[in-house]
Structure 1
């Protein structure tokens, strides 16, 4: 039984005591701490046990001229070696001073040999190329680093299941990124991925189907409300119109209007109806162009929403 919250107390490194009480709450006996466990000498009640030292810092050795610091980047699946490789500089040293020409030529030769020995096999070389493609596409689509890392992990799973053999690296990399967007419920279409990828829409779809059939991708349903912020930003509508369109999109999802329909078209219809209610000037053609749907599709969803509202 702890007498105070875990994060409100300190840890006595000399004896392992983690509470300030000195008497047992049951029999008022004396408390003794040993090995991070506090117990009563009279009744044997274990009052507290706590083995985590939150105050411990980096290890410091006596022969070090200065305390050892924890440096280096964190491990990431977005790199083929998970970020453990070293990088050799070019023309300046650690203090910023320019290196002499002889030292620069030596570093040039070291970089060349380091680049040659960077990959242990052809599979690692192909993995590095695919992960660079995923990072490039994620940056072009303005996706977060966590999405790129998850897509890299999906590609690694595909490589472990031998799904890359007979398929292009670019196709599987684009399929992994699209599968990650589907798993997170992000409103990204196939043509958006294909625009920044080095493959066609059909190839992206083929790569995603291969991943979905073999890895059982847990794809989330993309709702109309997920498309509203991006379409509102592309159309340049006001915050009031965007808020009203989000409410209409929630109504469409709850009432089943968006069932079996393109969620982008439903979101565009919500934005158009909200614009008309708030006195905007955008037309149906403006919203249909941004949403990549036909004007009759937007108009049909608009009529359905107007009847429900």
Structure 2
């Protein structure tokens, strides 16, 4: 039986931080062990490495309720099973080696049964489709992962309250994405959501109205100022710094004077942009600006009259 220690002397497993008594082989300097790495304090030479960092291990105490068990990836609302399912590969193993034909046939049968077990009920299958639709919408709208996570959680809440019954999955998924954008103050209009959705505007409006009423969402008011960057970007015309400041002044005046109250924010933002472009001798058609803003030329003209009257 071996009488030597399991590890070399000079390392303490309890905290991963000890000081060795030996000297540096290069400059005879003082050595220090930090997180399993023995380095010289004078020249910086790494003398030895210990790849397992015990200091990073979660510590558990008898009176502590925190569980220190090591688990896999964190749970996510973007998957119908919250990411707990097992994915079975196709042709190669974990090392990249090609599997033989008999093994591939066996795994194909296992994959078939595993897919049937993942969607054991129709509700789970519909939830998986809804999560995929939310992922498609957020990707098409260039929204972040947090919006996708919150929209999936909101859809689950609506499904638990039996709000999906009688309504299409596509409309409820689009309404969930729009509701999260409204709650977080993202400058996304209903027209943008409908453009990438597979349902019409009336269906998304109805679904959003139900979610907002039944779940009591704390939606933020969309201000015309939040829509200006998107309008300027999609207009594809170069604006000087003076013109940009003038647009912001008009929007601030519209909000302070009450012109923006009760009006569609996209119409107010488009009218402010139209007036600022005309003052700088940059002409743009009202029909083109109305198409970008998702409003009508009549609305832009009406807001322009109100802004001119307030300015005079």
Q: Does TM, scored on the shorter chain, surpass 0.5?
A: yes
**What per-residue deviation string (whole Å, max 9, x for no partner) do you get for residues 140-167 of structure 1?**
2222221111111111111111212232
- Number of aligned positions between the proteins: 250
The residue number in structure 2 matching 1:175 is 175
The residue number in structure 2 matching 1:88 is 88
Matched, 1:308 2:294: no
Per the alignment, in what secondary structure is the counterpart of residue 117 of structure 1? helix
Pairing of 1:206-225 with structure 2 (within 5 A): 206-225=206-225
Change (3 A) 1:91 1:14: closer
Which residue, 288, 292, 295 being the options, matches 1:293? 295
Q: Is the 8 A contact 2:14 2:55 kept in 1?
A: no
Matched, 1:250 2:252: yes
The residue number in structure 2 matching 1:240 is 240
The residue number in structure 1 matching 2:114 is 114
Change (3 A) 1:98 1:279: farther
Per the alignment, in what secondary structure is the counterpart of residue 258 of structure 1? coil
The residue number in structure 2 matching 1:131 is 131
Change (3 A) 1:255 1:289: same
Please provide the CA RMSD for this pair: 2.7
**What per-residue deviation string (whole Å, max 9, x for no partner) do you get for residues 5-42 of structure 1?**
xxxxxxxx979xxxxxxxxxxxxxxxxxxxxxxxxxxx
- State the alpha-carbon separation in 1 of the partners of residues 280 and 57 from structure 2: 58
Per the alignment, in what secondary structure is the counterpart of residue 164 of structure 2? coil
- State the alpha-carbon separation in 2 of the partners of residues 130 and 173 from structure 1: 6
166-175 vs 278-287, greater mean Cα deviation: 278-287
**What per-residue deviation string (whole Å, max 9, x for no partner) do you get for residues 114-148 of structure 1?**
11111243222221111111111221222222111
The residue number in structure 2 matching 1:37 is none
- State the alpha-carbon separation in 1 of the partners of residues 245 and 114 from structure 2: 54
Change (3 A) 1:243 1:156: farther
Change (3 A) 1:208 1:300: same
Change (3 A) 1:278 1:266: same
Per the alignment, in what secondary structure is the counterpart of residue 85 of structure 1? coil
**What per-residue deviation string (whole Å, max 9, x for no partner) do you get for residues 46-91 of structure 1?**
xxxxxxxx953479xxxxxxxxxx8854321111111121211122
Q: Is the 8 A contact 2:171 2:207 kept in 1?
A: yes
The residue number in structure 2 matching 1:148 is 148
The residue number in structure 1 matching 2:270 is 268
Matched, 1:166 2:166: yes
Change (3 A) 1:114 1:224: same
The residue number in structure 1 matching 2:101 is 101
Per the alignment, in what secondary structure is the counterpart of residue 83 of structure 2? coil
Q: TM-score, normalized by length of structure 1?
A: 0.72
Q: Is the 8 A contact 2:191 2:294 kept in 1?
A: no
Per the alignment, in what secondary structure is the counterpart of residue 129 of structure 1? helix
Gaps of 5+ in 1: 1-12, 16-53, 60-69
Q: TM-score, normalized by length of structure 2?
A: 0.71
- State the alpha-carbon separation in 2 of the partners of residues 98 and 269 from structure 1: 63
- State the alpha-carbon separation in 2 of the partners of residues 194 and 281 from structure 1: 29
Shift of 1:199: 2.0
